[in-house]
């Protein structure tokens, strides 16, 4: 957000009002929902209530990937007949293109680039074996080489030059944006379309057909809880998401000579294929944006304000230099993080509580920039009764069918135990002197712990 000019906040809600739809939360889910509602039925009276300013949460503080998939999509689509599965996959793969269409048609300035992604084996040989297994899995589940294609080292180095490459998979189904710019642009556009936005209006309670703040209430035919990680502390929202944190750094703008050494000429994103994922991209102002690792706080407590500590910046800087040692003398100028929602089973969901007129969406598992666009279309279609192909995706559920996370302290112990097993695996495999038995043991333990998350 600090790259943008200050914006005058919308006024807070003062008193009671009515609307056709009230949306709680002005992040990507809420703003996309408002946008598509106005596209489908321009006459709708739509109110958006935001506790701070639009994009205050993870929507303005993320890695900027628009991914053409949903977290856990294999389990989500399992059991569908082939024709419907293919149709759902086509809908998911089209998410970056749909965002691009709206960005172009509405003139949204957000540094959108549809350059695809490189999933890289980049630090130890076991990554190559796991990545080749994943590629075989993708191909066995309805994806072709046009969706996921193997790149040998020479082909990878034409796009991205890493210190120790073993190969990569390229997929065209990822775009990148500057998230704070997209939030700001969507905020402006929905207001132009007639949406009533009230900022600094934290909602205390969501209940049947209404949302209540300290200074007023909005009664509506539909209430949309677009809160994602922030839904756990909201009274009246039936959600089983927990909040975890992502953390990202960015370098100073790099000279062209360094970019000639790195690559990424065409807006590609990249990800290193370990269980503790590292990822990044080249920004429009020529910074390297790099994210890695995350965190969970006891009882899923939100982290706010979200300023990275020197140790958190240093860890990500160290990982970045393992991939790009030519950046050793480059300054890190920015570090930030965001709270994101994870549902049990890593299954994002659209929750329909028709009896109370309440809808919600979230649990995107760190892939919310793209998934929120699909959620906005889905919520708008459900409210308007509009037939839409996005409704074929089987991620709708009801409050009584939501899976619950384990109670504390089991949740905290389990999360940290799993993350420590991933960290141990990564350290063992990244040490070329580790004994073969130790490498096998580390992988077996991490794989079993990984299964606990499903």
333, two tokens: 């100028």
Residue 328 gets the label, from left (phi > 0), alpha (psi -120 to 50) or beta, of alpha
Statement: residue 2 has pLDDT above 90: no
Average per-residue pLDDT in the chain? 94
* Rounded CA Rg of the chain: 22
pLDDT band at residue 239, thresholds of 50, 70 and 90?
Answer: low
Mean pLDDT value across residues 69-73: 92
Return d(Cα 155, Cα 137) in angstroms, integer: 22
Residue 234 — very low, low, confident or very high, per pLDDT cuts 50/70/90? Answer: low
List pLDDT tens digits, range 141-172: 889 999 999 999 999 999 999 999 999 999 99
Q: Could you read off the pLDDT of 270-295 as tens digits, one per residue?
A: 999 999 889 999 999 999 999 988 88
- Residue 232 pLDDT exceeds 80: no
Alpha helices, DSSP H only, in 193-245? Answer: none
Q: Mind listing the pLDDT tens digit for each residue in 91-127? A: 999 999 999 999 999 999 999 999 999 999 999 999 9
Task: Name the percent of the chain in helix, strand, coil, to the closest 5.
Answer: 40, 25, 35
* Residue 452, pLDDT score: 80
Q: What value does the mean pLDDT take over residues 313-324?
A: 95
Place of tokens 């939360």: 25
The backbone region for 259, taken as left when phi is positive above 0, alpha when psi lies in -120 to 50, beta otherwise, is alpha
- pLDDT on residue 6: 83
pLDDT for residue 404: 85
What is the DSSP annotation of 44-56? --EEEE-SSSTTT
- In angstroms, the CA 404 to CA 415 distance is 15
Quick one: 209 exposed, middle or buried, by C-beta within 10 A (0-12, 13-18, 19+)? middle
Alpha carbon 40 to its chain's center: 25
| pLDDT for residue 324 | 97
- Burial category of 154 from C-beta neighbours within 10 Å (exposed 0-12, middle 13-18, buried 19 and up): exposed
Taking the C-alpha atoms of residue 66 and residue 26, their distance in angstroms, rounded to an integer, is: 18
Greater confidence (306 vs 243) lies with: 243
Rounded to a whole number of angstroms, the distance between the first and last alpha carbons of the chain is 34
Cα dihedral 165, 321, 174, 424, rounded to 10, equals 80
Element (H, E) at 86: helix 82-93
- pLDDT average, residue stretch 81-98: 95
Mean pLDDT of 233-244: 70
Closest CA to 216 of 231, 237, 201: 201
d(CA 175, CA 211): 35
Residue 409 has a pLDDT of: 94
| Cα→Cα distances 236→49, 299, 356, Å | 15, 18, 10
Helix residue ranges per DSSP H, 230-326: 256-262, 310-323
Domain 17-81+178-241+345-401 maps to which CATH number in 3.30.70.1380, 1.10.150.120, 3.50.50.60, 3.40.50.300?
A: 3.50.50.60
**CA 50/CA 57 separation, integer angstroms:** 10
Which of these CATH numbers, 3.40.50.300, 2.40.70.10, 3.30.9.10, 3.30.590.10, describes 117-171+243-338?
3.30.9.10
pLDDT for 94 equals 97
Name the phi and psi angles at 353, rounded to 5: -110, 75
Give kind and range of the element (H or E) at residue 282: strand 278-282
* Residue 240: count of CB within 10 angstroms of its CB: 19
Rounded CA separation 28/240 (Å): 20
At residue 14, the pLDDT reads: 97
Chain segment 26-41, per-residue pLDDT in tens: 999 999 999 999 999 9
Tell whether the torsion through CA atoms of 443, 444, 445 and 448 is positive or negative: positive
Q: Where are the domains of the chain?
A: 17-81+178-241+345-401, 117-171+243-338, 406-454
The count of other CB atoms within 10 Å of the CB of residue 85 is 17
pLDDT at 235 over 60: no
pTM of the model: 0.95
Q: Is the pLDDT of residue 5 over 80?
A: no
Q: Cis omega (within 30 of 0) on the bond before 333?
A: no
């Amino acid at each position: 957000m600090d790259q943008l000019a200050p914006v005058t906040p919308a006024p807070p809600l003062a008193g009671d009002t009515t609307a056709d739809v009230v949306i709680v939360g002005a992040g990507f889910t809420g703003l996309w929902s408002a946008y598509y509602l106005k596209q489908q039925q321009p006459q709708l009276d739509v109110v958006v209530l935001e506790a701070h300013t639009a994009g205050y949460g993870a929507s303005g503080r993320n890695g900027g990937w628009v991914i053409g998939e949903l977290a856990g999509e294999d389990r989500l689509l399992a059991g569908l007949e082939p024709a419907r599965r293919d149709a759902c996959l086509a809908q998911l793969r089209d998410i970056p293109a749909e965002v691009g269409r709206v960005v172009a048609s509405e003139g949204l300035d957000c540094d959108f680039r549809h350059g695809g992604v490189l999933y890289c084996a980049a630090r130890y040989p076991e990554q190559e074996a796991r990545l080749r297994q994943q590629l075989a899995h993708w191909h066995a589940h309805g994806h072709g080489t046009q969706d996921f294609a193997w790149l040998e080292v020479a082909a990878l180095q034409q796009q991205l030059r890493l210190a120790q490459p073993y190969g990569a998979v390229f997929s065209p189904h990822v775009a990148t944006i500057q998230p704070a710019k997209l939030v700001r642009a969507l905020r402006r556009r929905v207001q132009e379309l007639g949406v009533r936005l009230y900022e600094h209006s934290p909602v205390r309670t969501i209940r049947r057909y209404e949302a209540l703040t300290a200074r007023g209430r909005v009664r509506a035919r539909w209430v949309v809880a677009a809160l994602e990680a922030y839904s756990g502390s909201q009274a009246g929202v039936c959600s089983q998401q927990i909040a975890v944190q992502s953390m990202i750094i960015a370098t100073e703008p790099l000279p062209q000579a360094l970019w000639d050494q790195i690559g990424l000429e065409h807006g590609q994103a990249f990800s290193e294929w370990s269980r503790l994922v590292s990822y990044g991209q080249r920004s429009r102002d020529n910074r390297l944006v790099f994210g890695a690792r995350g965190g969970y706080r006891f009882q899923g407590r939100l982290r706010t304000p979200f300023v990275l500590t020197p140790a958190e910046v240093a860890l990500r800087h160290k990982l970045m230099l393992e991939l790009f040692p030519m950046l050793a003398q480059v300054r890190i100028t920015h570090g930030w993080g965001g709270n994101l929602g994870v549902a049990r089973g890593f299954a994002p969901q659209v929750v329909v509580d028709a009896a109370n007129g309440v809808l919600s969406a979230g649990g995107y598992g760190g892939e919310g920039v793209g998934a929120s666009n699909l959620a906005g279309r889905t919520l708008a279609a459900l409210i308007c009764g509009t037939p839409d192909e996005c409704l074929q995706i089987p991620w709708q559920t009801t409050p009584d069918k939501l899976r619950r996370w384990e109670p504390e302290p089991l949740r905290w112990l389990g999360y940290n135990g799993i993350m420590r097993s991933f960290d141990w695996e990564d350290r063992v495999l990244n040490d070329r002197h580790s004994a073969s038995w130790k490498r096998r043991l580390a992988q077996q333990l991490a794989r079993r712990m990984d299964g606990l998350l499903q």
